[in-house]
Amino acid sequence: MRKLQSLFIGVIAIILLLTFPVVRLNHSSNASSQVLNIYNWGDYIDPELLKQFEKEYGYKVNYETFDSNEAMEAKIKQGGTAYDIAIPSEYMIQKMKKEHLLSSLDHTKIHGLKNIDPRFLDLDFDKENRYSIPYFWGTLGIVYNDKFVDGDKIKHWEDLWRPELKNNIMLIDGAREVMGLSLTTFGHSINSKDKKHLTQATKKLNALTPNVKAIVADEIKMYMANEESAVAVTFSGEAADMMAENEHLHYVIPPEGSNLWFDNIVIPKTSKNQEGAYDFINFMLKPEIAKQNAEYIGYSTPNKTALAMLPKNISGDKQFYPDDKTISHLEVYKNLGAKYLGIYNDLYLEFKMYRK
């Protein structure tokens, strides 16, 4: 009997040893499916919403940030981290589609797309929203401090060349943005591939150098809030942050034209948790979530239901929610291709070197 018991126990032990690795493997697989890897611009979502998403859906969010579309694209192409969500801008979405870096979206798994303003759907960079869902939108414009500058004299890009602004302008550090504002003063497209236009724009930028105090990135918000410069060229959301810190700051969209940009949510081709990615998209499409995020970030929400929930002093502010007439004069950046992107970058670098 004792021998029979020993044999029985031995058989059970062998079965347990054989099944344990399988159980462990399954557990490991389930654990990885509960991780959602998000790749986003810095400080571009309310951290409380990430906590709420984790609590409601049971995921562990790994959140990483990038500081340029190009850096984001390069890392996704490299494939070191299998990001489930990324938030590129419109021209980069075009580029990533061509490079087969994005998963096509299954719209049957997306709930809440009806909350998005139709003006921000089915745009040229992603027809039928086959690869992307709107996240935020905004403009490029001019911020000025009314303590130092008469607002009536800062309405157009051309006003940046005024002699009285010597050493008093800060520019956001971006080739497309700075080249684009100069192109616009001649009535040229911000997507121009005409080399005469580009040379003309660069020469005019060189004439702006006496007025340029600094070319900076995120720190432009702090500098303007602290009144270290009278004027800045920056994005609408950055302007909103500055204005919240200093009541003397104002934002202007030059009526002759500027950049209208869109940041959209995409699912990279390398995603290992597509179910989680769709959960995140649906979470962000909820009006109450989009409202909270818009209030935290300061950029313009494409979610029309969320917009109706925002305080009137936000939703009615034409600096950040311009009317259709203003929008009709704005342009979206197009993917210029490697050749012309290189030309823009080289000419912009020429301008920056000219300042020294």
- Please list the residues that pair with 216 across neighbouring strands: 172
Mean pLDDT score, 10-37:
50
pLDDT at 25: 35
Compute and round to an integer the Cα radius of gyration of the chain. 25
Average pLDDT taken over every residue of the chain: 90
Q: Based on the fold, state whether residues 173 and 96 are members of the same structural domain.
A: no
Q: Based on the fold, state whether residues 253 and 338 are members of the same structural domain.
A: yes
Binding-site residues for spermidine sit at 91
Domain of 249, CATH number, reads: 3.40.190.10
Q: Based on the fold, state whether residues 116 and 212 are members of the same structural domain.
A: no
Q: Based on the fold, state whether residues 344 and 197 are members of the same structural domain.
A: yes
Structurally, the chain folds into a number of domains equal to 2
Q: Is 122 part of any domain?
A: yes
Q: Give the domain extent around 40.
A: 34-137+262-320
Q: Based on the fold, state whether residues 175 and 209 are members of the same structural domain.
A: yes
The least confident of 13-27, 155-169, 234-248, 304-318 is 13-27
Binding-site residues sit at 91
Interior/surface letters 12-36, b for 16+ CB within 10 angstroms, e for the rest: eeeeeeeeeeeeeeeeeeeeeeeeb
Q: Is 20 part of any domain?
A: no
Q: Based on the fold, state whether residues 101 and 239 are members of the same structural domain.
A: no
Mean pLDDT score, 342-355:
92
Does 3 have pLDDT greater than 80? no
Please give the sequence-ordered ranges of beta strands (E in DSSP) within the chain, or none if there are none.
Answer: 35-41, 60-66, 85-86, 133-145, 169-172, 212-216, 231-235, 249-252, 258-265, 330-331
Q: Is 13 part of any domain?
A: no
Q: Summarize pLDDT for 152-211 with one digit per residue, the tens.
A: 999 999 999 999 999 999 999 999 999 999 999 999 999 999 999 999 999 999 999 999
Q: Is 236 part of any domain?
A: yes
Q: Is 105 part of any domain?
A: yes
* Percentage of residues in the chain having pLDDT higher than 90: 83
> Is residue 33 very low, low, confident or very high in pLDDT (cuts 50, 70, 90)?
low
Q: Based on the fold, state whether residues 95 and 242 are members of the same structural domain.
A: no
